[in-house]
Chain A
Amino acid sequence: MRQVLARAIGGVAIIGLIAGAAACNKSSDTGGDTASGSNCGYKLAFFGALTGSAANLGVNIEQGFELAVDQYNQKKGSTCIEVAKFDSQGEASVAPGVARNLVADKKIIGIVGPPFSGESEAADPIFESAGIPTITPSATRTSLSTKGWKTFHRAVANDDSQGPAAAAYIKDNMKATKVFVADDQSAYGAGLADVVKQKLGPLVVGSDKTEGDGKQTDFSALVQKVNSSGATALFYGGYYTNGGIIRKQLTAAGWKGTLLGGDGMKDPGLSKASGNAAAIGTVVTCPCSPPEQAGGTFNNDYKTKWGVAAGTYSDVAFDAANVFLQGIDAGNTTPDKLNTFLSTVNYKGIANTYKFTPAGELDPTLIKVWAFKFDESGDTKADVEIKTSA
């Protein structure tokens, strides 16, 4: 009986494999036939979360990317470049398998993604060994550019840019003279808080550390320290989960100052915990431009095609795709040539101008960091672009 069962399961698995392989072949065979004109018949891929809890950001990026390719094809009058979508679910554990499927398709010569740092660490080595250039519109972990990957490119500023920007905002925009700095002891939060502390120097009147998300909910000691330090601003290096509780307990204890944080706190989850009223005025920095700032007809085109307004990083993804398309148009139709093209590119897009350092980072003069503020709706609105005096 057991043998029969094993055979049955094995048989089903084999059929599944064959069907899967056939499906793959089918998808990679099209495209070439419909393409016409020079430098056509290739594919650009999106790699990132299309389903799962992190899908919002992934879909923003994919739609921006697909819009750029569509517009290019319309201009060419044919399906010159095809879009291939690979759903990583945003999970570092899922990403490698999906990445191997991607590199098996030899028509793919460029990738927009992966959106998150964790999945980037898992999938980028596979793209590197296949030699396919990637441009991530949103993965900001600093260490990604220090792994020696030649195919890695980042179209936004990394985490290192946020600390100086937050400090500049506190000093120049808020003109605060007494600042309290705290963090959640995570690599992201502590790194951010340390830079802010260092840049603000004598303006820092006190500092503290909390436990990470879910490990501490009573912040009365921190609240007391902030209150008695006389600080008018609290910079918290951490995520929105703790940020929301801290904001609520600060308000309950009668503190009237401003809470600031990095993009880890740029989430409506913060105001869901604290209540919208308490969250008003909370400032978060983000190495992203507000989508409504994008130039050209992008916002209208996006709305027309997808029926929703462009989201965070949609514009950067649109630009990233256009960088690739410009390279392909110039005859760089192999992954190698396209990667070489990226090292010399100087492309002015709708969100920014793109020029990469040898490590694949955005040229330091092009980095943009914006401050966002929570408003009465419980969400963030763009405040100002932060000018960092280097």
Chain B
Amino acid sequence: MNFSGLINDFGPLTVTGLAQGAIIALFALGYTLVYGVLRLINFAHSEVFMIGTFACLIVWGWFGLDQNSAVPSFGGMLVYMVIGLVVAIIASGLTALFVELVAYRPLRQRNAPPLAFLITAIGASLAISEIVGVATHRNQRGVPPVISARTVITIGDTHITNLQILIVVLALVMMFALDRFINGTRLGRGIRAVAQNPDSAALMGVNKSRVISLVFLLGGLMAGIAAVMYDLKIGVTRYDAGFMLGIDAFTAAVLGGIGNLRGALLGGFLLGVLQNYAAGLFGSEWLHAAAFVLLILILLFRPTGLLGESLGRARA
């Protein structure tokens, strides 16, 4: 164990961990939203994310950007960022809706058992991932340098870049907006109603199918933003980009309390930072092992997760 290494690098590890955690958190919202309403783990969410990472790459490619391009001017940077975000959000949102319509809705209409949903979820995930894998020859794609990482704040040995700030702030803003939407709007009330009691909600005139589509769409939107942030932070994507990160995101959702939006955010940040600390303390090969051992420990004492309450259920 390397305590001095961890202490020396504590600041930088925290900052990079928070940035990674913000991406995990945005990704985790999709799992938590769908689970909160349907009691279903949407495994295909990792592919919703992956499609987003490719969508913004493709659109940037139309503007002639590739991994060898020069960093654009500030104005160009802004335009490309907005375009990339919009396209990724649309692509991920549509993918999520598509998965809902094709893989889940028909099962729901036939009152299929939960196991059937689990299998179609895994099937949809693998199918989308493999199709993209074949289409891209399983190569990884380099991301154009749309944003140049520059240190803007320095505290001791800790350098914080503009990109890291952007990622964390964007995650917090989106989280806040989503929270307001669920808790403060008519549509949000519908989501909470269906989460609490689908049958009563239907009797009260809530269109259940529409609410469920909305939930998938919202998860997709958040995944789209996470996808663009991932592209910029990691610098490459490929057909299985969503797989390991999806496991992290799912873990974060469970850690914070699945079904709980704020829990997903907390879980994401915690997991991101803890993985970095584990890598610093034990070496990067322990990154996943340490984080998951910790997850088990936390669940032993708080089986419902840190903030453990469900969407709607507790705050009726």
Contacts and interface: CB of A to CB of B under 8 A. Distances in A.
A177 interface: no
B145 interface: yes
A217 B245 contact: yes
A274 B235 contact: yes
Interface stretch (A38-46, A244-252, A382-390): A244-252
Contacts of B157: 228
A253 B163 CA distance: 11
A269 B136 CA distance: 13
A244 B142 contact: yes
Given A211-B287, A216-B287, A248-B235, A225 B241 contact: no
Interface stretch (B6-14, B36-44, B99-107): B6-14
A209 B16 contact: no
A13 B17 CA distance: 60
A215 interface: yes
Given A185-B285, A244-B236, A273-B67, A221 B140 contact: no
Contacts of A163: none
Nearest to A269: B139
Interface residues of A, number: 37
B234 interface: yes
Contact of A217 (B159, B241, B284): B241
Contacts of B233: 218
A178 to B, nearest CB: 15
A54 to B, nearest CB: 13
Contacts of A274: 67, 142, 235
Nearest to A274: B142
Nearest to A220: B16
A275 B144 CA distance: 8
A220 B17 contact: yes
A117 interface: no
A253 B241 CA distance: 21
B303 interface: no
Given A217-B244, A221-B16, A209 B68 contact: no
A276 interface: yes
Nearest to B236: A273
B284 A210 contact: yes
B152 to A, nearest CB: 13
A199 interface: no
Nearest to A208: B284
A241 B238 CA distance: 10
Interface string A248-265: 110011100000000000
A137 to B, nearest CB: 26
A269 B140 contact: yes
A96 interface: no
A244 B285 contact: no
Interface in A193-212: 208-211
B278 to A, nearest CB: 8
A143 interface: no
Contacts of A249: 234-235
A248 B67 CA distance: 10
Contact of A221 (B234, B238, B240, B284): B284
A272 B67 contact: yes
B235 A220 contact: no
A224 B11 CA distance: 10
B281 to A, nearest CB: 10
A19 interface: no
Contacts of A37: none
A257 B149 CA distance: 18
Given A225-B280, A274-B142, A218 B235 contact: no
B16 A224 contact: yes
Nearest to A277: B68
Contacts of B141: 272-273
Nearest to A378: B68
A222 interface: yes
A241 B239 CA distance: 13
Interface string B150-162: 0100000101000
A185 B16 CA distance: 23
B18 to A, nearest CB: 10
Contacts of A210: 284-285
A296 interface: no
Given A210-B284, A224-B9, A273-B142, A217 B279 contact: no
Interface in B67-89: 67-68
A214 interface: yes
Most buried by B among A217, A222, A245: A217
Contact of B140 (A53, A227, A273): A273
A274 B145 CA distance: 10
A245 B234 CA distance: 7
Given A210-B284, A224-B13, A248-B142, A217 B234 contact: yes
Contacts of B16: 220-221, 223-224
A241 to B, nearest CB: 6
Interface string B189-211: 00000000000000000000000
A211 B283 CA distance: 11
Contact of A215 (B20, B235, B236, B244): B244
B114 interface: no
A220 B140 contact: no
9 contacts: A182-B284, A211-B284, A216-B287, A217-B245, A224-B276, A248-B235, A272-B67, A273-B140, A273-B141
Which 8 pairs from chain A and chain B are nearest by CB? A221-B279, A220-B16, A209-B285, A248-B235, A275-B67, A273-B236, A273-B142, A217-B234
Given A217-B241, A225-B9, 18 more contacts: A182-B284, A209-B283, A214-B240, A217-B244, A220-B13, A221-B16, A221-B280, A222-B284, A224-B9, A224-B12, A245-B236, A248-B142, A248-B236, A249-B235, A269-B139, A275-B68, A275-B145, A276-B68
Interface of A: 53, 182, 185, 208-211, 214-225, 227-228, 241, 244-245, 248-249, 252-254, 269, 272-277, 378
Interface of B: 5, 8-9, 12-13, 16-17, 19-20, 67-68, 137, 139-142, 145, 149, 151, 157, 159, 233-236, 238, 240-241, 243-245, 275-276, 279-280, 283-285, 287-288
